[in-house]
Structure 1
Amino acid sequence: MEPESRPPAEGGREREPGVADLAAAYAAKAGLHRHDDGRIDVLRSAGGIRGVLESILPGLVFLVAFTIVRELVLPIVLAIVVAAVFVVVRLASRTTPTQAFAGVVGIAVSAALALFTGKAQDFYITGFITNAAYIVALAVSVAVRWPLMGVVFGFLRNEGVHWRQDPQRARQYRLGTWIMVAVLALRLVVEVPLYLMGDAGVVALGAMRLILGVPLYALGIWLAWLVSRPLPGAERADDARA
């Protein structure tokens, strides 16, 4: 189901056009989807099987290769090659290669940093920075009363931004957003100490990056969706507006 981009005004009042349009655009780009019966489609939201593989395999190849050879160049080359293969596959199948291209760029930046410092653990620094940026963005969105999970889920549920007028729904979406903050914070709490261990923690850091990556993200999205479910009566009203 595609999120509605221009929800009707309520009570004769005009909606907030600029913010609402930005919210719709953000929701459309977030890549989250739901089933026809209203359940969150966790696998599709994570990019499907191909998207999951694109997220996991380059890092897994780097970790396995580094564990075996204990030097940087070969693991980095193999990780970049794997990421590039996904781009080629998407281009050949005429599907949008944006996620695969982003993967190649991310791996290349991580690889350049690790090669520059000569430290394998620095391959994971960009992940820390990205993770911290998302935590700040999510926390700020709650502080300014536009919790991002409400922005995304609101359009998936055909609520638009009207949930902001309902204190109960707003509280639910704030809770859902804090759940995602907790998920991202957990990654840093587990991974940063392993990074600080230097070479001794590289293998464990790589393993934790995989475990706390897509699987933990999917769990967080599912929990955020559950805690922000509307009451049955409210859900029927939303469906009537769709």
Structure 2
Amino acid sequence: MTKPQQQDTTDDDHTTTPGPTREEAMLARMGGRRMGFVYTAVPVVVFVTANLLFPLAVTISVALLAGVGLMVFRLVRGERWTAAGGSLIGVAIAVGIVALTGSAKNYFAVGIWAYFAGFVIALGSVLARRPITGVIWNFVHGGKYRWRTDRRVLRAHTVATLAAAGVLGARFTLQQWLYIADNTSALGVARIAMGTPLSALVALVIVWAFRQSSKQLIPKKADTGEGIGDTGHKPAE
């Protein structure tokens, strides 16, 4: 008599692959995707190259066509209209300023002052002991955690926000200097070199701060209900 074969209790049809965490999703949005570098670089390269070869009016037309082409490419890849159209809107605003002012360097003006505004906001939030990355983390998690009372969490978000402020400040300083020097080609190189690669590095620091916050403040499933309460958040110290 043969021994009955045990049935495999593992049901492949019911196995689920865990989705990306909130931190991983943020990393992807902030520069984790390799295509992000292409989306950032292509409009700048096209504009700077066209500016070297053609009159300003032709350069504007070529830049707009490149923006439309990039939007179509992103739509074909299955991206949302909001994301794909955002790249075209950015190019349209930049070349619109160039057309109004008659100066190619103004293609970079909006971005330069956006860096300055971001630097001021990031640094100001640290000085106010409310680092912006911590505010964002708490908002993403429903605003129910007293994250500023935990020294480790506050320190992590201070480091992450200062990293963002440092990159934004460096971008503004160098590109504003090149803007004053009227060096459009160098502005293009600086925009690409200081764009997605540095954003990805800052994103890694921010994700680290997010994970530190989750580790410190969000209770594990086995610990829920043990003196933490129905809200599931760490009590105030």
TM-score where L is the length of structure 1: 0.70
1:34 aligned residue (21, 24, 36): 24
Shift of residue 97, structure 1, vs aligned partner: 2.2
Which whole-Å CA distance do the structure 2 matches of 1:157 and 1:226 have between them? 16
Aligned-partner residue type, residue 34 of structure 2: I
Q: 1:47 to 1:86 in 2, by over 3 A?
A: farther
Corresponding position of 1:197: 181
Corresponding position of 1:27: none
Q: What are the equivalent positions in structure 2 for 1:102-113 lying under 5 Å apart?
A: 102-113=86-97
TM-score where L is the length of structure 2: 0.72
- Residue 141 of structure 2 is aligned to residue 175 of structure 1: no
From the CA coordinates, give the structure whose radius of gyration is larger.
2
| Segment of structure 1 superposing worse, 171-180 or 70-79 | 70-79
Contact 1:114 1:120 in 2 (8 A): yes
Where structure 1 has 5 or more consecutive residues not aligned to the other structure, the ranges are: 4-32, 36-40
Q: What are the equivalent positions in structure 2 for 1:1-242 lying under 5 Å apart?
A: 1-3=20-22, 33-34=23-24, 42-43=27-28, 45-46=30-31, 48-67=33-52, 69=53, 71-153=55-137, 161-198=145-182, 201-226=183-208, 230=212, 235=215, 238=218, 240=220
Which whole-Å CA distance do the structure 2 matches of 1:174 and 1:166 have between them? 12
Which whole-Å CA distance do the structure 1 matches of 2:155 and 2:27 have between them? 23
Q: 1:44 to 1:126 in 2, by over 3 A?
A: closer
Deviations 1:23-73 (A, max 9, x none): xxxxxxxxxx418xxxxx745532623433222211111112223x15322
Where structure 2 has 5 or more consecutive residues not aligned to the other structure, the ranges are: 1-19, 222-231, 233-237
Which whole-Å CA distance do the structure 1 matches of 2:170 and 2:144 have between them? 30
Shift of residue 91, structure 1, vs aligned partner: 3.7
Aligned-partner residue type, residue 115 of structure 1: A
Shift of residue 75, structure 1, vs aligned partner: 2.7
Shift of residue 92, structure 1, vs aligned partner: 4.2
- State, as a whole percentage, how many aligned pairs show the same letter: 25
Q: Secondary structure at the match of 2:34?
A: helix
Q: 1:84 to 1:203 in 2, by over 3 A?
A: same
Task: Say what the alpha-carbon RMSD is for the aligned residues.
Answer: 3.0
Deviations 1:60-105 (A, max 9, x none): 11112223x1532233222222222232234445431222222211
Contact 2:153 2:216 in 1 (8 A): no
